[in-house]
Amino acid sequence: MSMQGTPIAQLPSMITRIAVDPAGRSIACATAAGTVHLFDTTSLTEVWSARHGGRWRGVPLHSISISGRGDVVCTGGEDGTAVLWSVPDGRRAARLTYEHRVPVLSSSISRDGRQLALGYRTGVIVLRDMVDHRETGRLHHDVWANQVEHDSTGARIASAGYDKTVRVWHVSDHSPAWRVSTPGLAGSLSIAPEDDRLVVNGFGSRAAVLSMEDGTELGALQHDADVLFVRFSADGRRIVTESETGVVTMWNGESLDKMAELTFDRTVADPHALPAGAAVAFGYGDELRLFTLSSEEST
């Protein structure tokens, strides 16, 4: 099986992370030069761009996320700051700081837009109210909170880190629901929209599908090499993964059968399945690329 590819745009620097809003209207890109770019997925045009650290300051970006309503983008920088951007016009809505100037590695905005979670290299996950931007609590992942994500209700947060664990937390009292040890470094996870399972790396050449209830393994996606990225589409119909050999694979989200595969001469950045489930977007060096399944493969 194959996909048809279209380069959307060339950015001024290497793309480090991307995010797709749940409705599939926008793709946001973060770069190593500290710029953030928003693209319209219908017209494949750039809507706006900005600089995370100010006009003359380049701060490498490690994190980007879009709110469930698609109205806010959050970027996280090497300098420990997070910036909230208004999607319609690219206006800087807030700049958030942390007492320790350690990199922001991950971020997640709850579906209702009320809470922001920021994961830091120290392993601390800071929870903030999105209205007045005050801190409401902290979770402690021990080492390198590489990925944080809210479930659809905002009641739970999942996190993966370089302490070789994946964890799920109760937001109400900041208590742990469960934790599972991984053989390798866990750096990528994604929760299914039904909130019944998540997919995570850290299991070598397997991407593990775990129960959101207790962390029990429900299935696995086998690769040719260690898995780097995993992601459910917003409708849950597809999972996109990438291995360290530069192979991007699209899987059926229910049966876990392989649907299509792309091979590149190097790893790509943060592949995402678009909500319709028939396309995947990712960074390829300084290019944002979009690949679409043919009609007979997308059914």
CA distances from 71 to 41, 129, 153 (A): 15, 16, 18
Cα distances (angstroms) measured from residue 253 to each of 119, 129, 212: 27, 32, 15
**Domains delineated in the chain:** 3-298 (2.130.10.10)
Q: Which residue has the tokens 């977007």?
A: 281
Q: What is the pLDDT of residue 79?
A: 92
Distance in angstroms (rounded) separating the CA atoms of residues 137 and 269: 31
Sign of the Cα pseudo-torsion (78, 81, 84, 90, in order): negative
Give residue-wise pLDDT tens across range 126-180: 999 998 889 999 999 988 999 999 999 999 999 999 999 999 999 999 999 999 9
Write out residues in the chain with pLDDT < 70, as ranges.
1-7, 54-57, 276-277, 293-299
Instruction: Tell me the backbone φ, ψ of residue 226, rounded to 5 degrees.
Output: -55, 140
Compute the distance between CA of residue 82 and CA of residue 180 in angstroms, rounded to an integer. Answer: 29
